[in-house]
Amino acid sequence: MAEVQLPQLGESVTEGVITAWLVEVGDSVEKDQPIVEISTDKVDTEIPSPVAGTVQELKAGVDDTVEVGAVIAVIGEGDANDAADKDADNEGAADEDNEGAEDEAEPAPEPKEPTAPEPTAAAPQVADGGGGVLMSPLVRKLLREAGIGPDQVEGTGLGGRITREDAERAIASGGEHAKGSGVADQPAAAAAERTATPPPAVQAVAGTRERPLPAPTQIDFGGEREVTQDLTRVRKAIAKAMMHSMQTTAQLTAAVEVDMTAIMNLRSALKDDFKARQGVSLSPLPFVCRAVTMTLPRHPTVNSSMDLEAGTATFHRYINLGLAVDTERGLLVPNIKDAQDLTVAALAHQIADVATRTRSKGITPDELSGATFTVTNTGSVGTLFDTPILNPPEVAILAACAIEKRPVVVSDAYGDSIAIRWMTYLCMSYDHRMLDGADAARFLQDLKWVLENHDFLDELGL
């Protein structure tokens, strides 16, 4: 038997709330398979199983608050019912652990000769031999009520687990998102269908952008004029952090306009080759982040923190680069440790990794603390100008805004002319207690020069 304890999730984290069990008593699990979702003041994360075996007991329920180190589950060999029988013999009483369980909780199947399965709406969550489907009880219920089998859904979670988003996408499409049916192409096809017959005013404008996707948060009003919901733990934490930032720092924003034409042309020429060789997309963000890590060492005040009560300032020789990530739970800011040592290609990998793990609840609390400077890519959703809020104790945060083609005045040996260039605004909010306006301006001008003049080709690994 192996006891699953709530692990240390960060230096300042002492407890967590169980938000969902991903397994049930009797389920077979593999080592490192996520078995429970835990919510803390810093992050929502999944806890993996330390061993392979069968879930014998769940010692805490959903919404229970558990201390770090507390036993939350027991995993062992054999059927959970066998363990219950042994407990009954030893204690002289029947095991009541599974009393009241709904039809969704099924014991692990005994090994037997392969036979055609009987029609049923509820399939076991995990099947032995690696051929089963991983999903949470909530996801299983959604699929069962929709009459869609797990084998019809492409799981995009860790280890092929079917997430709630996978289930909802399959339900919305009437079960057409079957494995091998080109799931990855479905959003593009849907977008093409939506814009197949645009309004006449749109048809007349070549190259018009697609209409932005709806907000990720949808509210079911149920026919009422208004609805009141409890704030999530993450939203409460964000609200407190933002208020603390505004009330304890002296914030203002400075901005520069940057010509990104050279970078955009380089990206356009090499992005396909980069994707083929590196396995990740080459967006403009890694270039901006690399320019930041090249510029910060020349402006140590921008990469610092201050303690006004102690009367001290700490200057960091290293750069832990924070990245604002938009998730369905709210904005989270993981950071890339020692980003000053990474090339554009390495940053592209790291950015994709932390963004994916943050959205899939795979990021750790330690990765959400310790940043020295943050970049928020609001331009990815079309923002032209931004005034981001600081993430104390950092003294600066940079917003990378939308990159757009604009007519600008270009001066060369032949005089002034009008040219079409890829332009963007870089907006930096900073703590005026630590940085003066001239400090911020010098940093932004230096950053602008790097982006417009540095040759990034050698950093792409091509």
* Active-site annotation, residues: 432, 436
By the 8 A CB rule, do 362 and 347 touch?
Answer: no
Tokens representing 268 are 């356009």
Burial of 346 (0-12, 13-18, 19+ CB in 10 A): middle
What element of type H or E holds 322?
Answer: strand 321-323
The phi, psi pair for 300, rounded to 5°, reads: -60, -25
Q: Which amino acid is at 380?
A: S
Tokens representing 404 are 């757009």
What single string gives the DSSP state of each residue in 366-415?
GGGS--SEEEE-GGGGT-S---PPP-TTBSEEEEE---EEEEEEEEETTE
Task: Say whether 331 sits in a helix, a strand or coil.
Answer: strand
For the CA atoms of 70, 75, 81, 83, the dihedral, rounded to the nearest 10 degrees, stands at -80
List Cα–Cα distances, 311 to 305, 306, 317, 433, in angstroms. Answer: 11, 8, 20, 12
By the 8 A CB rule, do 462 and 277 touch?
Answer: yes
Task: Say whether 306 sits in a helix, a strand or coil.
Answer: strand
For β-strands 71-76 and 2-5, DSSP reports them as antiparallel
Q: Which amino acid is at 86?
A: K
Round to whole Å and give the CA distance between 81 and 194.
Answer: 52
By the 8 A CB rule, do 355 and 28 touch?
Answer: no
Task: Say whether 447 sits in a helix, a strand or coil.
Answer: helix
DSSP code of residue 432: T
Strand order in the sheet with 44-48: 44-48, 34-39, 15-21, 65-67
